[in-house]
Chain A
């Protein structure tokens, strides 16, 4: 009886220390991973700061303006280029009633032809 109990306890002790051993190493691994993740989060955040600064730099209106003017032929919007829904409804209602008349001939406000770089968009 005593011996069987002893064997049982020795076995239990061995099993528990084995479990403890593996658990300890698992925790250590997790901690290493955690530290690694933290480090990479820091690195990512640092990179994000740099990228945000670069994004802001690249979007500088003083830089984009000349670029858009040179490569896209874009210019600041003029007030004549702006219309409202009301202008549109005048155009469309005019078309419904008299589909064949030229819109420009009917005393309605003219919308400028949109263009990119001097080329008219159809």
Chain B
């Protein structure tokens, strides 16, 4: 209180002392003080910010540098590569020519000039486009750099280029059915391009399980057989039995994905996944496997194959007829329909159905392609169906399903989903056990026997222990089987002591030569042999010299004459 009185007194004293004229000066000085303080604060703030930016480091500059790198270089659609990284499909930058008709001065002259430098353009069509009402017309998609230069040199107003991408398949027809193709706007409309359209568009690369070298080999060998046998079509497949990876897949006739116009009709039809065939005798592998696995028969049992079976209006006969009792191995080795039918009947419809289902033969295969056909299976599973299915008639499956099921038979009995995408090394997808290890081992021995002694002799590849089964099925047309048209196939695996690969070759309506029927053993088995001989060194198999079984009578083919004591009582008597 006393201090304020003092100050008051002092002020009064000063005012009194300096006089009123000085008061204005005092106010001015005060204002100046306030202003300078404000300025000082502002400069301090600037200094502080300067120190912050320059010395303390976390300024805008480093953030700018982090933003800077150009990421625009990633191109639109991602590549598709094979398992070794070889490019199968890629997108290349290209330009397309368009016009704004309202800006074209002399349409006649422009059309004349354009047709001059871009052969293949129709003059009247170009003229119609250039005189149309719109403001945008495509004149030509995907120009080469030379053509672009030529068009630029014409100096026609109203023409412009649109940068874009063009899908290129460097290997042309080699993997056509797998890759499919895209339309002009880069949308996948067939094959893997369609199935993985979203992924590819987002820039995610696609690595296939396919090995381009094997793919080219398969297509070449298949093509030779296709042309040589004058077949309507052909399908081929190489499958890794350990993890279900497809290493090669070819279907003929094929097309060039660089020119999608060639993919119409038969050429665009993927016979490996989209076509279903009555496979014929190759199905006896499954019949035998399920009969052995379910305990319906043993390798020592046999059936009477001396007389054709007549059921209802059907007659089941043997192509390679032996007209005697046949043991289970002999039924497979000599491909006896009668024996297989009787064996299937002993297995029973219910068990047969469940085994076939476990093999994946009764449902659409889970492959990464849009073109997949479901199998054709009988609506009602009667005994007659059981019998015909026993030797591969009355059920139609895709070659892919067939190969997958054979892989299950030989790989120790485990069904694994087939895939076109490369699985990481050493990763085995979860599978489902269908056959016991022992059954699988027996089946491998039998398949080897078919090639050593039976119908599949032409599939032998010295040193590589091929095993397999031939199939020759009459084609069904309009409800009747044609004896002059067949589906001839061979499904093989190697090396038979520890199978790694299944090779399937199928020819649709091959024509025989020298009056001999074009059976699976005659036209398809040699292709498998050539394929194995060529691919084995590539996939790292050294030839093994020496044969695993002695010459002469094979222990599994011990004669059944006279018939063994334990001969199955035929349920057929009832029919």
Query: Chain A residues in contact with chain B, CB under 8 A?
Result: 34, 38, 41-42, 45-46, 49-50, 52-57, 59-62, 65, 76-80, 82, 84, 109
Contacts and interface: CB of A to CB of B under 8 A. Distances in A.
Nearest to A81: B537
A38 B462 CA distance: 58
A45 B219 contact: no
A84 B213 CA distance: 24
Contacts, number: 77
Given A65-B220, A76-B534, A79-B533, A57 B93 contact: no
Given A42-B70, A46-B75, A79-B536, 13 more contacts: A50-B93, A53-B170, A60-B170, A61-B174, A61-B213, A61-B217, A62-B174, A65-B220, A76-B533, A79-B462, A79-B543, A82-B543, A84-B542
Contacts of A80: 462, 543
B87 A56 contact: yes
A41 B463 contact: no
Contacts of B88: 56
Contacts of B537: 77, 79, 82
Contacts of B86: 56, 59
B213 A52 contact: no
A62 B87 contact: no
B256 to A, nearest CB: 12
B212 interface: yes
Contact of B73 (A41, A52, A56, A76): A41
Contacts of A62: 171-174, 216, 219-220
Interface residues of B, number: 36
B90 A79 contact: no
Interface of B: 68-70, 72-73, 75, 86-88, 90-93, 168, 170-174, 212-213, 216-217, 219-220, 461-464, 533-534, 536-537, 542-543, 545
A27 to B, nearest CB: 10
A67 B264 CA distance: 31
20 contacts: A38-B70, A42-B72, A46-B75, A49-B75, A49-B91, A52-B87, A53-B170, A54-B170, A56-B86, A57-B170, A61-B213, A61-B216, A62-B171, A62-B172, A65-B220, A79-B464, A79-B533, A80-B462, A82-B537, A84-B542
Contacts of A50: 92-93
A53 B88 CA distance: 9
B90 A34 contact: no
A107 to B, nearest CB: 13
Nearest to B168: A53
Judged by DSSP, the binding face of B is mixed
Contacts of B90: 49, 52-53, 56
A49 B171 contact: no
Given A60-B172, A60-B174, A79-B533, A42 B73 contact: yes
Contact of B170 (A45, A56, A65): A56
Contact of A34 (B68, B87, B212, B536): B68
Contacts of B173: 62
A89 to B, nearest CB: 15
A45 B71 CA distance: 11
Nearest to B461: A79
Contacts of A76: 533-534
A77 B542 CA distance: 11
Contacts of A55: 87
Given A42-B72, A52-B90, A84-B542, A60 B216 contact: yes
B172 A49 contact: no
A46 B72 CA distance: 11
A82 B542 contact: yes
A54 B463 CA distance: 38
B536 to A, nearest CB: 7
Contacts of A42: 70, 72-73
A63 B519 CA distance: 32
Contacts of B543: 79-80, 82
Nearest to A39: B70
Contacts of A56: 86-88, 90, 170-171
A35 B55 CA distance: 28
B171 A60 contact: yes
A45 B69 CA distance: 14
Contacts of B542: 82, 84
Contacts of A60: 170-172, 174, 216
Contacts of A109: 545
Nearest to B74: A45
B61 to A, nearest CB: 10
A34 B174 CA distance: 43
A49 B93 contact: yes
B463 A79 contact: yes
Nearest to A44: B73
A46 B216 CA distance: 28
A55 B92 CA distance: 13
Contacts of B93: 46, 49-50
A11 to B, nearest CB: 19
A20 to B, nearest CB: 13
A62 B463 CA distance: 26
Nearest to A61: B216
A57 B168 CA distance: 10
A7 to B, nearest CB: 20
